[in-house]
Amino acid sequence: MLPLVTDPRTRARWAEEYSARARAYWTEERTKQLVGDKLPIMRPADAAVLLRALGLLRDDASLPPDRARKYFQINHMVALLLPALRELRARHPRVRLLDAGCGRSYLTLLIAWCARHVWNWELEVIGVDRNPDLIAEARRRAEIAGLDEAVRLEVGTVEAVDARDVHGVVALHACDTATCDALALGVSLGAELLAVAPCCQAELARGWSALAERGTSGPFSTIWGTPHLRRETAADVTDAMRTALLRAAGYDVLAMEFVPSEHTRKNTLIRAIRRGAPSDAARTEYEALRVATGGVGIRLAERLRGQLHDAEVYERSSGRREHEQ
Ligand SMILES: C[S@@+](CC[C@H](N)C(=O)[O-])C[C@H]1O[C@@H](n2cnc3c(N)ncnc32)[C@H](O)[C@@H]1O
């Protein structure tokens, strides 16, 4: 582990020396071998100090193959978010994002780094994770990368985050139902951008497994009763349900592959941009999908139930007010 040097002048000297070492190591040829013809948001030579702080580059500035996966994941995620982040930036002089289940804060720190060193934006990222050891490590990394003033790293659960004026909520592989909690949080905060790469939500698969154990029959019973098919199908249906529920909450939603499957099998990115009014048709679509696949719902539906109801009441009452004027 890279030690944290507390003296700012010694740290600045280290950063300069390390950047020079990385520029010498990351020749055009080596960079091309790594990234091919793609133009990554962050080439190793340009963000060496950050990549070293994140534990992705070694002391000699090389990138071990097992770390390259994370390098590509966070680069791809930021590249896909950039158009939406630009929209936020056009509306807000200081953009505020929340990274839910930030872990060691790869994504939090990359976004903060790009804002400062590449885009020249005023941007603050709040990283929240329930694991205090990971937050301690993330804070150490932020200091090494010189980003401790651009990020706020807090121990807490996604369900109970207390934040305001957040323009975007992101979550990269937040475990199990934490992705649904991150989306529900974003909707409740009125966030304009939601972007999640879901992890291993097992809720639907568990419910389907219980149906199989009870001997329930239906068009999906082969899937309910076959662990591999159940897991794979449940992941996709969960994402389809999330898409419908976010549309129901007034978001334009796109689910896409964000990184080739050789880097990770958890390679779906759901990106939602708040555009309009809640949609009853999308809520009906969610219900139809839930019923058609066995009647098991997902946590996001539960978390949004009150919120969507409130939104509907609000829409109706404001419509009535307009009508009465
Ligand atoms: C697979 S890790 C991903 C971490 C990080 N986003 C990344 O991509 O490296 C999932 C993280 O979610 C955190 N987590 C899971 N459920 C959570 C919850 N309900 N509230 C806060 N953090 C949670 C875990 O502690 C863990 O650090």
Output the tens digit of pLDDT for each of the chain's 325 residues: 666 667 778 888 999 999 999 999 999 999 999 988 877 888 899 999 999 999 999 999 999 998 998 898 888 889 999 999 999 999 999 999 999 999 999 999 999 999 999 999 999 999 999 999 999 999 999 999 999 999 999 999 999 888 889 999 999 999 888 999 999 999 999 999 999 999 877 899 999 999 999 999 999 999 999 999 999 999 999 999 999 999 999 999 999 987 666 666 678 999 999 998 899 999 999 999 999 999 999 999 999 986 755 555 444 433 333 333 3
In a domain, 292, yes or no: yes
In a domain, 271, yes or no: yes
Cβ atoms 42, 113 nearer than 8 A: yes
In a domain, 41, yes or no: no
Q: What is the CATH number of the domain that holds 209?
A: 3.40.50.150
Q: What does the pLDDT read at residue 41?
A: 82
In a domain, 57, yes or no: no
Q: What does the pLDDT read at residue 176?
A: 83
Q: What does the pLDDT read at residue 10?
A: 85
- Is 234's C-beta closer than 6 angstroms to any atom of ligand 1? no
Query: Tokens 């030690």 sit at which residue?
Result: 3
**How many distinct structural domains can be found in the chain?**
1
CA of 130 to the centre of ligand 1 (A): 7
- Is 131's C-beta closer than 6 angstroms to any atom of ligand 1? yes
Q: What does the pLDDT read at residue 12?
A: 87
Domain that holds residue 288: 74-324
| Torsion 55-57-63-68 (CA) sign | positive
Ligand 1 atom at minimal distance to the Cα of residue 156 = 21
In a domain, 179, yes or no: yes
In a domain, 126, yes or no: yes
In a domain, 211, yes or no: yes
Q: Is 148 exposed, middle or buried (0-12, 13-18, 19+ CB in 10 A)?
A: middle
In a domain, 215, yes or no: yes
Q: Quick one: CA torsion of 275, 185, 200, 81, rounded to 10 degrees? A: 40
CA of 321 to the centre of ligand 1 (A): 43
Q: Which of 75, 97, 126, 129 to mutate to test the pocket of ligand 1 (most atoms within 8 A of CB)?
A: 129
Q: Which of 173, 196, 269 to mutate to test the pocket of ligand 1 (most atoms within 8 A of CB)?
A: 173
Residues 6+ apart with CB under 8 A from 249: 187, 278, 304, 307, 308, 311
Structure tokens at 205: 């698969």
Give the strand pairing for 193-197 and 251-257. unpaired
Q: What does the pLDDT read at residue 322?
A: 35
